[in-house]
C-alpha cells in the first residue's frame, strides 16, 4: 500500500510539471484542437496589420549617402561624412554615421541644420534630397539607421542586445534573433519596456494568441527591452531530476512515520 501511495505521489508531481502544447505554440486560434479538420494549402484567415514605420529620434546614428553628377570637389555633402586617418571612408562602419542632435537636427556646411527627428527613413531621404538638389545635380540620397537596437532578457536561449539593420522587426523576429524562447518561457506574459521621449512605458503582450498580429505592439521599436518570464513549472522542471531522490526519500520517511503511528 505504501508503495502505491509513493508511486501516485511521484506521478502527480511529474504530471504537474508537464508543459502542454497550448503554452508553447505561438499565435494559436484553436487550430491545435482541429488538426485533422484543418485544410492544407489554403488560406484560413487574414489579419489587418497595424504597420508602424520607425521614426527617427534624437541621438540616432544615421548613415547618409549622396550620389550625383556634381564633381567631388563641389560635393560638400559627401565631404561631411566622417573619414578615417589617411582619407579612408568609413561609410560601411557605424563610425560613418551622423548623430541626430538632442533637438532632432543634423547639420551640413552651407545649408546648416536639417530637421529629421519624427520622420521615417524615407521621409528623411526626401527632405534631405530636396535641400541637396539646390546644390547637386541629379542627386540621389540614401538614409539608413545604424543603431536600431533592442534587448531580450529572461527565458531566451541567448540573452543579448541586438543591433539590426531592419527597422521593421516583429516581436517574433526579434526573439528569433535572440535564439528563440526556451521550453519553460511564459509566452502569454512577455513584458516590454519601451522608451518614449523622457518616459519609459511598460506593457505586456501575449504571443500565444493569433490576434496579436493585429496589435499595435506587434513591431519592436528602438531601445525596447523585452523580458520573458518563466512558467510556474520552471523551478520544478529545472531541479526535479537532481531532487528526485530527495523527494522519494522524504515521501518514504513520511509514509513510514504514518505507518508506525497507526500501529
Domain co-membership, 74 together with 121: yes
Mean pLDDT for 99-106 is: 94
Instruction: Kindly state the average pLDDT of the residues 129-150.
Output: 92
Domain that holds residue 240: 2-16+233-261
Say whether pTM exceeds 0.75. no
Could you say which of 145, 161, 185 is where a domain stops? 145
176/133 same-domain check: no
Q: Specify the residue for cell string 579612408.
A: 88
Mean pLDDT confidence for 241-251: 64
Specify the CATH number for the domain of residue 217: 3.10.560.10
Joined together, the cell numbers standing for residue 164 give 539590426
Q: How many CB atoms lie within 10 A of CB 93?
A: 12
Longest dimension (CA), the chain: 104
Grid coordinates representing 127?
527632405
Please name which of 51, 19, 40, 81 lies closest in space to residue 220, comparing C-alpha atoms.
Answer: 51
116, 62 Cβ separation under 8 angstroms: yes
Q: What is the pLDDT of residue 21?
A: 65
Quickly state the pLDDT bin for 217 (edges 50, 70, 90). Answer: very high
Give the CATH number of the domain where residue 69 resides. 3.30.1950.10
Amino acid at each position: 500500500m505504501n508503495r502505491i501511495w509513493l508511486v501516485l505521489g511521484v506521478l502527480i508531481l511529474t504530471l504537474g510539471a508537464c508543459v502542454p502544447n497550448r503554452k508553447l505554440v505561438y499565435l494559436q486560434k484553436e487550430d491545435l484542437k482541429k488538426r485533422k479538420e484543418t485544410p492544407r494549402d489554403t488560406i484560413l484567415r487574414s489579419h489587418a496589420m497595424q504597420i508602424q514605420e520607425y521614426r527617427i529620434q534624437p541621438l540616432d546614428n544615421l548613415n547618409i549617402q549622396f550620389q550625383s553628377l556634381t564633381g567631388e570637389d563641389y560635393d560638400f555633402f559627401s565631404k561631411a561624412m566622417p573619414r578615417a586617418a589617411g582619407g579612408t571612408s568609413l561609410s560601411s562602419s557605424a563610425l560613418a554615421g551622423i548623430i541626430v542632435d538632442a533637438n532632432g537636427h543634423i547639420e551640413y556646411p552651407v545649408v546648416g541644420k536639417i530637421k529629421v527627428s519624427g520622420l521615417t527613413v524615407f521621409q528623411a531621404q526626401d527632405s534631405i534630397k530636396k535641400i541637396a538638389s539646390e546644390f547637386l545635380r541629379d542627386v540621389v540620397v540614401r538614409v539608413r539607421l545604424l543603431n536600431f537596437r533592442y534587448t531580450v532578457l529572461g527565458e531566451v536561449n541567448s540573452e543579448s542586445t541586438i543591433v539590426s539593420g531592419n527597422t521593421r522587426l516583429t516581436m517574433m523576429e526579434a526573439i528569433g534573433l535572440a535564439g528563440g524562447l526556451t521550453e519553460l518561457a511564459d509566452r502569454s506574459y512577455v513584458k516590454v519596456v519601451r522608451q518614449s521621449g523622457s518616459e519609459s512605458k511598460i506593457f505586456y503582450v501575449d504571443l500565444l494568441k493569433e490576434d496579436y498580429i493585429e496589435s499595435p505592439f506587434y513591431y519592436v521599436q528602438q531601445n525596447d527591452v523585452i523580458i520573458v518570464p518563466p512558467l510556474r513549472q520552471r523551478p520544478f522542471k529545472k531541479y526535479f531530476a537532481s531532487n528526485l531522490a530527495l523527494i522519494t526519500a522524504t515521501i518514504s520517511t513520511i509514509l513510514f512515520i504514518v505507518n508506525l503511528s497507526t500501529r
